[in-house]
Amino acid sequence: MSDRWEPAAFKGRVDEVVRRFVAQEADEFARIDPLLEPVAEQLEAAVADGKRLRAAFCYWGWRAAGQPDSDALMRAAASMELVHAAAVVHDDLIDDSPLRHGRPTAHVALCGAPAARPSVDAAVTRTAGRSLAMLVGDLLMALAGQLFAASGLPAAYLARARPLWSVMARELVAGECLEILRTGAGPDTAASLKVIRYKTAKYTVEQPLLIGGALAGAGVRLREGYSAYGLPLGEAFQLRDDLLGLFGDPRRTGKANDDDIRGNRPTALLAETWRLAGETDRERLRALLARRRPEADVTDAEGLDTDALDGVREVMRRLKAPDRIEDMVDARVEQALDALHEWDAPAHATRALTALARSAADRLS
């Protein structure tokens, strides 16, 4: 790969590594017993799509430290995408999300695995689907570590980076736990931003950069620069995701529009709406958020009454809450870019990381 940043070419390289590796592992898994075939299929489905941003940040954490492109590094960077796949499977399960990339999520798809037996009722199949999805996520996380360790990089390089994996896992799980514990609590922007930082920002941008840097032997100043760039950019990424979750086009996002609202998640968008609202609007929001379609269940992408969802959007727009989140995204991207230009990094790395910052925060899916 040349020093020119070519996102499509990079994504193709990551896709090839990830899909080939997981396909081989899925085949080995299914070979144990034919009954495991639906689970193996979900392993492959979990890695079939993605922007491959986390692999890109790991790659440029390596390149910004002066190291050259290599196939071994690509395999190590691609392992970040398996961490992401595991996190997505678990997150969809926790949030009861019905769709991902326009397809049923793992726990929904796997409801059909035991359903082929006539004696199994719907409640049992739903529980089984959730349990199987949890195990798919667990296996993906284990495979991430395997791909990283078998990347082909020197053992001394891997040893420098391996401790960061436990940090990444601890912070990711902490963020997910905080979201669960904050669900249903009073809207609070500061608390929502803390959830964003630990659940998404760190493992999406900062930790992949730091892992790439550790592999490359990056110095303290550069690693500090990675955090100064990565944390605000990771927050901008998730703030954009929150906006797309409610105001995006489901044909592009591949997800249900009411996921965050239906799950009463502690998003900054809802918290800012609440902060800006007077008592009349707060009463209206309470009433709207309480409405559900009677037939809604885990497979129903319209769990919230459609009119109620439109009503929530109307209140948010009138109060200019989406504009406030847009401002927060812009401010964080600028903060990240300011930090980036303080590094003593190769020009090609600076150009690539600038482009990545723009694409991570300014997107439609």
- pLDDT tens-place string over residues 93-114: 998 999 998 899 999 999 877 6
- Cα of first residue to Cα of last residue in the chain, in angstroms, is 27
Six-digit token string for 77: 């960077």
Q: What is the pLDDT of residue 120?
A: 62
Q: Is residue 273 part of a domain?
A: yes
Enclosing domain of residue 237: 7-361
Span 81-90, average pLDDT: 98
pLDDT confidence tier of residue 17, bands split at 50, 70 and 90: very high
Q: What is the pLDDT of residue 125?
A: 87
Mean pLDDT of the chain: 92
* Predicted TM-score of the model (pTM): 0.93
Q: Is residue 94 part of a domain?
A: yes
Q: Is residue 1 part of a domain?
A: no
The residues, ordered by sequence, that sit 6+ positions from 172 with a Cβ below 8 Å of its Cβ are 83, 87, 198, 199, 202, 203
pLDDT at 208 over 60: yes
Q: Is residue 192 part of a domain?
A: yes
DSSP class of residue 292?
B
The residues, ordered by sequence, that sit 6+ positions from 61 with a Cβ below 8 Å of its Cβ are 208, 209, 210, 211, 212, 213, 215, 216, 218, 226
The residues, ordered by sequence, that sit 6+ positions from 230 with a Cβ below 8 Å of its Cβ are 57, 201, 202, 205, 206, 207, 209, 210, 336
Burial of 315 (0-12, 13-18, 19+ CB in 10 A): middle
Span 20-33, average pLDDT: 98
Q: Return the residue matching tokens 């001394």.
A: 156
Q: Is residue 154 part of a domain?
A: yes
Q: Is residue 2 part of a domain?
A: no
Any idea what the CATH number is for the domain that residue 67 is in? Answer: 1.10.600.10
| Tens-place pLDDT, residues 176-186 | 999 999 987 88
pLDDT confidence tier of residue 302, bands split at 50, 70 and 90: very low
Q: Is residue 69 part of a domain?
A: yes
Q: Is residue 282 part of a domain?
A: yes
pLDDT at 300 over 50: no
Query: CB of 305 within 8 A of CB of 292?
Result: yes
Q: What is the pLDDT of residue 301?
A: 41
pLDDT confidence tier of residue 297, bands split at 50, 70 and 90: very low
What domain count does the chain have?
1
